Structure 1
Amino acid sequence: MFPWVQLDSAKIPDDGGELRLKQRGQEFSIMLGSNELMNSRLSGSEEALATLSWEKIRDRQRSSILIGGLGMGFTLRAALAIVPPDASITIAELVPAVVKWARGPMADVFKGCLDDPRTHIHQGDVGELIRDSKGEFDAILLDVDNGPDGLTRESNDSLYNRRGLRATYDALRPGGVLSVWSSGPDNGFTRRLKEVGFDTEVVNTRANGNRGAKHVIWVATRP
């Protein structure tokens, strides 16, 4: 078994801690402290985030999709595999080093998806982008933390409180969908989605096909 080797590290803005990129053979891991945020072998639930969202808007032309958090590109790659050529996908990534890693040591994992003409990188906070957008997106996919209870950055909580959810509601076009990835359930978040006005489904999925840890995806549609 190959040992883990740390390739790089990067600070998360606003004292959010330090991300560490590690490699073991062909496997990559992004860590925050002792918490593994993502692993290149486990992509099933992040891919489901894209496919479940697309099912809600698949009949739209020139659809505009916002993905919060680049991660290891699993959600982006899954979306690019199913959306048509006229779709536009904006990736909001807060930490510049994550984009650098995608084009550098993890280029084989990303398989050129950042160079797809449908892909647009927004360097900055996804919450700020959402608040500045009114009726611009058909789908907003959030995978910026371990779920509605912010782990990597306290300000991520503002995405998931009532005020943040109202901003997301307003950023969606009628019939648009908000999908949120989480490492576990959160009944309070389900309740807040419904209170803001979303038609809400809670989908249980696995980290790796039919195996691995159980994750949760909220699929919330603006009526």
Structure 2
Amino acid sequence: MLPWIELATAKAPQGETLRLLQRGTEYSIRLGGGNELMNSRLGGSEEVLATAALDRLRGVSAPRVLIGGLGMGFTLRAALAVLPEGARVAVSEIVPELADWARGPMAEVFGTCLSDPRVEIRIGDVCAEIRQSQGAFDAILLDVDNGPDGLTRAGNDALYGATGLQAARRALGPGGVLAVWSAEPSAAFTKRLTRSGFDVQEASVRAGRSKRGPKHTIWTAASPRP
């Protein structure tokens, strides 16, 4: 079997080291000594994050979408595949090097999605993007850390806690959809979404496109219409 080769490293906001590795045509981004955050072979659940959310936006002619976390581009590519020509997609990524990796070592993985005229990459914290927005988006897709109980950012409560969910509601237009990816289920998070006034749907999906691999959780939560 081919060995893993380290291509690059980066520092996450809390000081953790992110490592980009390659083995043949496979890529892996890992935290510190070994915890794998994402793998180029296992993007099925991240793709469902986009398709499930945008399916709840039927009838919106030019959706405005915010994606929190560039990752390996699975959610972005899946969104572009179903969004109309007039859509606008902002991708908020807090680690600048991930955008560099997307255009450099992982260019084959990302293909042409970063040059799509509908796409804007914004380097910064998606929490701040959401807090400063008022009715700006029809959909917010969050693939940040490992979900509500993530491993790498202690500050994720600002995104997934009650205050963060209320900010997300304000950032969405009427009937807008908040979609959240998680490596694990969380009954507490489901309750928080409901208490925040969202109409919540929860799904358990396989990580791999061939219905193999571990199961991940996807929440799609629609904000009320007037």
* Residues 159-178 of structure 1 mapped to structure 2, 5 A cutoff: 159-178=159-178
Percentage of identical aligned residues: 58
Distance in 2, matches of 1:151 and 1:58, equals 34
* Residues 174-189 of structure 1 mapped to structure 2, 5 A cutoff: 174-189=174-189
Q: Which residue of 2 aligns with 1:124?
A: 124
Q: Which residue of 2 aligns with 1:222?
A: 223
* Residues 2-17 of structure 1 mapped to structure 2, 5 A cutoff: 2-15=2-15, 17=16
| Residue 207 of structure 2 is aligned to residue 211 of structure 1 | no
Say if 1:150 and 1:157, in contact at 8 Å, map to a contact too. Answer: no
Q: Which residue of 2 aligns with 1:148?
A: 148
Q: Deviations over 1:52-107 (max 9, x none)?
A: 01101131022100000000000000011110100000000000000000000100
Q: Which residue of 2 aligns with 1:26?
A: 25
1:36 aligned counterpart, secondary structure: strand
What is the RMSD of the two structures over their aligned residues, measured on CA atoms?
0.7
1:7 Cα deviation after fit = 0.4
Structure 1 alignment gaps of length 5 or more: none
Distance in 2, matches of 1:152 and 1:101, equals 19
Runs of 4 or more, structure 1, over 2 Å off, are none
Distance in 1, matches of 2:179 and 2:152, equals 19
1:149 Cα deviation after fit = 1.1
Q: Which residue of 2 aligns with 1:136?
A: 136
1:7 aligned counterpart, secondary structure: strand
> Which TM-score applies when normalising by structure 2?
0.97
Q: Which residue of 1 aligns with 2:64?
A: 64
1:153 Cα deviation after fit = 1.1
Equivalences, count: 222
Say if 1:130 and 1:171, in contact at 8 Å, map to a contact too. Answer: yes
1:59 aligned counterpart, secondary structure: coil
Structure 2 alignment gaps of length 5 or more: none
